Chain A
Amino acid sequence: MSAVLRVPTVLRPALGGVSVIAVEGSTVGEVLLKLTATYPAIKGQLLNDDGTLHRFLNVYVNDDDVRYLGGVEASIANDDEITLLPAVAGGVW
């Protein structure tokens, strides 16, 4: 499947400075793994060591948060739009 990945400003330095990338994969996990193979510097911001999504990364397929679609198992269809946005959070943990 061929989809489009939208990259926020804060992640662009680790992804060659681009705002939109054409990506391939049938699941969110496949897309992110291929992305980290091409851009190893971003891996720690996207995925945990066990392959699950980083706690402070929001991933959307079109309008939907993938936490509610199965996480890294969420399916990708042709022409889907994937958006990455770091979570905005803080406080006293």
Chain B
Amino acid sequence: MLSLSPSQRDAIVATCIRALPNEGCGLLLGTSDGIVGEVVASENIAHSAKVYEIDPQVLLRTYRRADDEGVDVIGVFHSHTHSEAHPSPTDVRQAPDPTWHYLIVSLRDTPPDLRSYRVLEGEATSELVEIVN
């Protein structure tokens, strides 16, 4: 399960909308039980509507801050601008960490659809996204 506050959900959606027409992306800081503590927006350095890549400097700074603050980088979010919130074969192949939560925001629908996945040995499994105050 991935647990977000309403304001974190709104920040994620806003990051993805601002990135249009390209995909938006960012990192999720939090705890190993899937509770998100902070959303870290990143520039999509791929500058593409079909591909995303987190800025390597944002990645380094976020890992260092997580170490300093005793929290973990627990996942990543990115948007699909015109398709459903389901991981592409490339999303699955490129998933670097089986402990991460892979959150996808579909901007095809109104309101945007948020779905999260765990990826283990090349297989994506959906998980509950809980929005809690």
Contact = CB atoms under 8 A, between A and B. Distances in A.
Nearest to B83: A92
Given A9-B97, A9-B99, A88 B91 contact: no
Contacts of A56: 94, 96
Interface of B: 23, 25, 27, 46, 48, 50-54, 56-57, 59-60, 63, 76, 78, 87-88, 90-91, 94-99
A71 interface: no
Contacts of A90: 51-52, 78, 87-88, 90-91, 94-95
A83 B67 CA distance: 13
Interface in A65-93: 65, 67, 83, 85-93
B60 A85 contact: yes
B60 A89 contact: no
Contacts of A63: 60
A56 B90 CA distance: 12
Contacts of A58: 56, 59-60
A91 to B, nearest CB: 3
Contacts of B48: 91
Contacts of B60: 58, 60, 63, 65, 83, 85
Contacts of A87: 53-54, 56, 59, 94, 96
Contacts of A86: 96-97
A31 to B, nearest CB: 17
Contact of A85 (B23, B46, B50, B63): B63
